[in-house]
Amino acid sequence: MEYRRLGKSGLQLSVVSYGSWTTFHHQVDEHLADTLMGYAYDQGINFFDNAESYAGGESEKLMGRVLKQKRWERSSYVLSSKVFFGWHGKENKPNQHGLSRKHIIEACHEALQRLQVDYLDLYFCHRPDPQTPVSEVVWAMNHLLQQGKILYWGTSEWSAAQIMEAHMIAERYGLIGPTMEQPQYNLFYREKVEKEFLPLYESIGLGTTTWSPLASGLLTGKYNAGIPRDSRLGLPGYEWLKEKLLIPQNIEKVKALQRMADAYGVSLAVLAIAWCIRNPHVSTVILGASRLSQLEENMQAVQFYHQLQDEILQQIEAIVDNKPHE
């Protein structure tokens, strides 16, 4: 396993990590979660990603039970949660979602209880909240930092301007700004990581924990001939994702990438994950495997990305034809 610093911080994350979005509690039960997390940890993965809203809090409870059973040294792994959506879904009351000081602090306490730990290593604002002043968010996060309940805070799906506003407020009051952002990043979604955040890597040392390297499974090739019943896009509630991803031009690009992966003797998934790791601005790539065979396969990307020389990268660019203009 290889490790990278989370931006300019001293925290080191494995170049691939393991997350539970859509899988834990829905596709992954406790026995399988124990197997998957155990394999990941044994392979050197040290970051496990979660959120208050995943499976209405059940994802964190499941991960917490596994962590308690494993009895790993707490200092040997990095654990996250995210705050914004709440865990009650449509039953959320007014202060049970968003980024008010009240919800940020209460959601942290609830995540600690569900995960059965004393502190979170990483705590993300899962989305920006137009109803809450950014200064309130910065102060609330620093309150938790001072209490030792979180070690680093960051954002997810915020714009560069919003991240910079938080940093400017933190600097004004001598506080700590966001260390990391969790953006989507894959061969079909590149704008933020490769263009919008480019000035932030140097100016504030932004770290990134990127999600959806396989574009919700599209970059495995499994949707080339339709939607498998047990796949993510076959789950209820993901119709919006299906409509966004499964368009003819994307499928044709995936088929071309598949032929390229075949020529290099790897799966399309390994090629797609390796391409993400190849970007030095990516601190870690979050994997979301729901089967051990998937996770074993995905781990090959840690070695294969070294083979992605300029010639191969140019071949990929010719196929996807979507490189952001600087």
Of 266, 280, 307, residue with least CA distance to 202: 280
Closest CA to 209 of 180, 167, 241, 177: 180
Q: Which two tokens stand for residue 117?
A: 């730990």
Structure tokens at 140: 């609330």
Concatenated DSSP letters of 22-54? TTBTTTB-HHHHHHHHHHHHHTT--EEE--TTG
CA proximity to 187, closest of 80, 293, 308, 97: 308
Closest CA to 100 of 122, 74, 130: 130
Q: CB of 163 within 8 A of CB of 195?
A: no
Type of residue at 24 = F
Contact between 182 and 81 (Cβ < 8 Å):
no
Active-site hit among 3, 18, 39, 54: 54
54 given a catalytic annotation: yes
CB contact at 8 A, 8 and 176: no
Amino acid at 220: T
Torsion of CA 54, 50, 6, 138, to 10 degrees: 70
Residues that are catalytic: 54
